[in-house]
Structure 1
């Protein structure tokens, strides 16, 4: 990787051990935010400023520098009115809850969490030490602000490698296309990151179904059958060992590297937590699955969690951004989406063709019998979504 992508070293960061880095940063942040209020006394401030001011002068500065001067009277009145309305709404919700004798409503739960966040914000702004009740946070908000951190990963689509001769001849390298940006907590694992990576090669298994396309069942997705894969970060292969039948893809690479004196390399599992990584940000690493499908992944950013983030463990890893994929249309009607991929067709001039289901059946079958020689494969899709669409379509037709 270092030889192939050495030009990325200019933009990459030095190697960072995430756990140690954020522990030091957290201690520094606590010393700044959670100090004693007495340290912010007027005498301490004047000593730091090395000035001696009279009491009248001090009161005058307080008056001019007060935060009340940052808002107009109309704005403060409007804010007070909004707070009154919110308070009245909360009272109404509590009354309705008591009348119905139901467990707490989701709206009240949300308001309670919001009130907690505003309390934490005010304490941080005023320099008051933050004290957490771990028993309360473990049920609703297991993530404690400024204790956990997020790492952002950019996942790129696979691309075809090119020979050196072709690169020198055309002066064009492979074009990298961003697939998605995923945020993951430091306490989560590489295996959890893998579950959020979406790739088209995971959605279907390539089997020829041209003989009987109508009676085919929705098959399993490839990611549920072929679960092997690995991440390569720095000098370590992180293999997926979640199933005993998984293949170790890194063993072949390690044998190849040993014959060429490349390495040494380390081996670990995907159960490795993100906070235990020591890696360079901005440098491309590899995620490989489905035998030969390779994605470049780049760690781009990391930051501490704040009260403005979603403080729920189940919300991560999260897809922050995804590149919109343009769908294919049928080569015959040009209107409907592709459902079939046809190859080696003796009545079509090109090797690979894309059909919708209607055109595929009308062109290649007469009375349900296959015409000509060809192979047909399902276009990659998510079976659950297709099932929902069919079910909705049948319900509409019944109506």
Structure 2
């Protein structure tokens, strides 16, 4: 039986007088990694923002029929992290998108990247090689936008449900001050049909309870220096850069698996890259070692 000291030991603190070559090498690696992270974090965000903003500036389509006409409205939308992601709920918008007034709401809906759409349901500790049949976006296609008292529900597919129905029934059950809430089909409306307020928070909801605040920050006419290729809109112009969660073992690669009740891990939950996960939890024949539950992990930083 291992006896733990009252003060928990930090495994990343290497003694100065260590005579072991492996520990001296690890100390240098940790110091170099910390220096790189501090520099890279700011530089990568700045570089990413510049490249995204300048990539499509003044771009013209190859096909003249795709040229945006003079007088077209251009809206700037800030899309925030989901409310359920507590870690990032107070951050700056993680996506800034330009949309045309003539575009359908479904085009914006299809362009929004969210890690919730990529989740894989199921527990795979006994069969880690079993390929999942569907990601959550394929299984749960329902979604809605909420603008000025109207729920715009995605009804393009037979399996789509009206997610706003419960909210509307709740508001009608008592006098809650929300009068005349309506539900319409998202695919029947373009942005020119909407009455919007600049700076006012609206809502995008998908996967049942993954809610994003959307704020319109600007509405103007298209300019000749803007991207004039209709096919590139909705146009992503800014994205918040995230640090990915690294594997607990190697500290190098992005986590691909998360385990619970893991007899071989010091933390619960514990995150692993694919290589370390398999080396630690399975023998050469692929048989499971120890007791644990394993779930595929999709890191929010994959959209970097």
Moved over 6 A (4+): none
Match of 2:228 in 1: 311
- CA shift at 1:365, angstroms? 1.2
1:378 is the counterpart of 2:296: yes
107, 125, 132: which one pairs with 1:210? 125
260, 280, 283: which one pairs with 1:363? 280
- CA shift at 1:348, angstroms? 3.0
Q: What does 1:92-131 align with in structure 2 at a 5 Å threshold?
A: none
Q: What does 1:173-322 align with in structure 2 at a 5 Å threshold?
A: 175-213=90-128, 215-217=129-131, 219-262=133-176, 263-264=178-179, 265-271=181-187, 272-322=189-239
Partners of 1:154 and 1:207 in 2: CA distance = 33
Secondary structure in 1 aligned to 2:94?
strand
Relative to total residues, which structure has the larger helix share, 1 or 2?
A: 1
Match of 1:67 in 2: none
Answer whether contact 1:333 1:359 (CA < 8 A) is retained.
yes
Answer whether contact 1:204 1:220 (CA < 8 A) is retained.
no
1:149 is the counterpart of 2:65: no
Partners of 1:244 and 1:318 in 2: CA distance = 29
Match of 2:83 in 1: 159
| TM-score, reference length from structure 2 | 0.72
Partners of 2:85 and 2:131 in 1: CA distance = 36
Partners of 2:123 and 2:66 in 1: CA distance = 49
- CA shift at 1:381, angstroms? 6.7
Change in Cα spacing, 1:207 to 1:255, as seen in structure 2 (3 Å) is: same
Partners of 1:177 and 1:157 in 2: CA distance = 8
Structure 1: give runs of 5+ residues left out of the alignment: 1-112, 118-136, 163-173, 386-399
- CA shift at 1:156, angstroms? 0.3
Partners of 2:266 and 2:63 in 1: CA distance = 63
Paired residues, number: 237
Match of 1:99 in 2: none
Q: What does 1:20-35 align with in structure 2 at a 5 Å threshold?
A: none
Partners of 2:92 and 2:103 in 1: CA distance = 26
Partners of 1:327 and 1:341 in 2: CA distance = 14
- CA shift at 1:197, angstroms? 0.7
Change in Cα spacing, 1:332 to 1:211, as seen in structure 2 (3 Å) is: same
Answer whether contact 1:344 1:373 (CA < 8 A) is retained.
yes
Change in Cα spacing, 1:349 to 1:343, as seen in structure 2 (3 Å) is: same
Structure 2: give runs of 5+ residues left out of the alignment: 1-57
Secondary structure in 1 aligned to 2:192?
helix
Partners of 2:216 and 2:226 in 1: CA distance = 20
Answer whether contact 1:204 1:381 (CA < 8 A) is retained.
no
Q: Deviations over 1:111-158 (max 9, x none)?
A: xx99xx9xxxxxxxxxxxxxxxxxxx984444212x211001100001
1:346 is the counterpart of 2:263: yes
Larger Rg: 1
- CA shift at 1:343, angstroms? 1.7
Change in Cα spacing, 1:329 to 1:209, as seen in structure 2 (3 Å) is: same
